[in-house]
Amino acid sequence: MTNQTADLSTVINERHAIRVYDPTVKIDRKELNDMIQEAAKAPSAWNLQHWKFFVLDEDEMKKTLLPIAYNQQQVVDASAVIVILGDLEANKNVERVYDEAVQIGIMTEEIKKNIVDQINGAYQSPQVAHDSAICNPSLAAMQLMLIAKARGYDTCSMAGYDSEQLVKTFNIPKRYLPVMLLSIGKRAEDAHKTTRFPVEDITVYNKFE
């Protein structure tokens, strides 16, 4: 347990946003899929798994993305750019998620029905759907960044892009909301040094004074 904690701590402390990549490095799709599969073990509300990973790893596709991402060079130099999408209709996943739970005997049909009704009731609110489509995929994205770092790759999460043009250009279904872009590859330059606020400045216990 101690070694696992130390390894995770090393990954967390060595992860930085990398914007300069070695453009000659390609990541095999099997390895990308392995990393995404691990990232998809992130928690999600009701286990609805509100994420979709739209991977751009072909040079032409990355060049198409470049102006949409305001010409950030890492878009074309990174091995791949993963568009993290949030599912605005994740409640439609409910039968697939909970049917299996019933089939293997860890949930009764009655409990399943109650949960399904609860989820569909919550999704009557567009705000719930929107917030869930941002929060839950962000957990998976962070997990993916750490997994990539543990495998020797670097990443950079990007919010600087034209969301409407992204959707239009790549024909992204209305069901999915762009949450962020995530570049992944081998660094060619180290990240700029950054600092973090001390814990006493960012933590409040029990109540605000």
Instruction: Provide the 10 A C-beta neighbour count for residue 75.
Output: 24
Q: Give the mean model confidence (pLDDT) for residues 99-109.
A: 92
CATH number at residue 46: 3.40.109.10
Whether 201 maps to a domain, the answer reads no
For strands 51-56 and 80-87, give the pairing. antiparallel
Is residue 100 in some structural domain? yes
Read off the pLDDT band of 6 (50, 70, 90). low
Q: Match 């999408």 to its residue by tokens.
A: 85
Measured CA to CA, the distance from residue 162 to residue 155 in angstroms comes to: 20
Work out the pLDDT band at 152, boundaries 50, 70, 90: very high
Q: 181 lies in a domain?
A: yes
Domain that holds residue 147: 2-191
CB 23 within 8 A of CB 181: no
**Domain for residue 86, yes or no?**
yes
Q: What rounded mean pLDDT belongs to the chain?
A: 95
Given a cut of 50, is residue 153 above it in pLDDT?
A: yes
Q: Is residue 90, in this structure, part of any structural domain at all?
A: yes
Per-residue pLDDT, 1: 38
Q: What is the pLDDT of residues 175-202, one digit of tens each?
A: 999 999 999 999 999 988 889 999 999 9
- Domain annotation covers residue 82: yes
Q: Is residue 169 part of a domain?
A: yes
Kindly state the average pLDDT of the residues 79-84.
98
Per-residue model confidence as pLDDT tens digits over 26-67: 999 999 999 999 999 999 999 999 999 999 999 999 999 999
Strands (E), the chain: 51-56, 80-87, 154-158, 176-185
Residue 138, in any domain of the structure: yes
Q: Which residue has the tokens 């994740």?
A: 90
Q: How many domains does the chain have?
A: 1
